[in-house]
């Protein structure tokens, strides 16, 4: 019988799990949602921005990996790292898809969807999107950083449109006027907020 090394295996498993989590969470899309750790149960609840209690079941994501003896003999620990990378990539894709589906459901339900009806992205599209959302501001009155989720193929077009739009003083003024309205809304929300003892 071959010797077993449970402590070494447990340590290696912890390291491989940590590496896999870091790889799986490297997608910028997965940096958007707030993360909570739940240790047990099959459901969770939270309150949305309007105060309604939402209850949901957990969604499982996972991937399988096998490493053959030949791969282990030929590559050593690197065989596990390669298969770990594939598992992490699969889990990252599943998690990103779940985030997009959840955001799509939430934005559709709240009416925060801006449909361009197949027309190209424009600066006006951007302004319409900003109008539809709640924007918070920092202590200096500057808008907090916003995250936009789009298809990767659209990113260069959006960047190009925004660079051209921001070169125009008229467009910069339109954006600042929008921010000023949103700043007033934010100030109203903040002054009407109930403080907890």
Q: Give tens-digit pLDDT for 108-130.
A: 877 777 778 888 889 999 999 89
Give the residue carrying structure tokens 């969807």: 113
C-alpha to C-alpha distance for 23 and 25, rounded to whole angstroms: 6
Answer yes or no: is pLDDT of 12 > 90. Answer: no
**Is 63:46 a contact under the CB 8 Å cutoff?**
no
The 10s digit of each residue's pLDDT in 73-115 is 898 878 888 888 888 888 888 888 888 888 788 778 777 777 7
C-alpha to C-alpha distance for 80 and 68, rounded to whole angstroms: 10
Nearest to 137 by CA among 180, 172, 194: 180
Tokens of 34: 């707030």
C-alpha to C-alpha distance for 194 and 197, rounded to whole angstroms: 10
Where helices occur in 3-122 by DSSP H, the ranges are 6-24, 69-75, 77-110
Question: Rg (Cα) of the chain, in Å, rounded?
Answer: 23
């Amino acid at each position: 019988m071959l010797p077993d090394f449970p402590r070494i295996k447990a340590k290696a498993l912890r390291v491989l799990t940590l590496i896999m989590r870091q790889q799986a969470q490297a997608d910028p899309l997965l940096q958007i949602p707030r993360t909570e750790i739940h240790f047990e149960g099959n459901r969770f609840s939270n309150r949305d921005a309007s105060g309604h209690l939402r209850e949901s079941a957990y969604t499982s994501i996972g991937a399988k990996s096998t490493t053959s003896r030949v791969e282990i003999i030929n590559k050593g620990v690197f065989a596990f790292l390669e298969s770990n990378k594939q598992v992490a990539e699969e889990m990252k894709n599943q998690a990103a898809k779940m985030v997009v589906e959840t955001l799509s459901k939430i934005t559709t339900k709240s009416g925060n969807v801006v449909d361009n009806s197949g027309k190209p992205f424009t600066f006006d599209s951007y302004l319409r999107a900003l109008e539809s959302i709640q924007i918070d501001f920092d202590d200096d009155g500057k808008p907090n950083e916003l995250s936009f989720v789009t298809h990767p193929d659209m990113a260069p077009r959006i960047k190009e449109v925004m660079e051209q739009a921001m070169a125009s003083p008229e467009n910069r003024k339109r954006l600042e006027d929008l921010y000023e309205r949103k700043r007033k809304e934010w100030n109203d929300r903040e002054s009407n907020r109930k403080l907890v003892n």
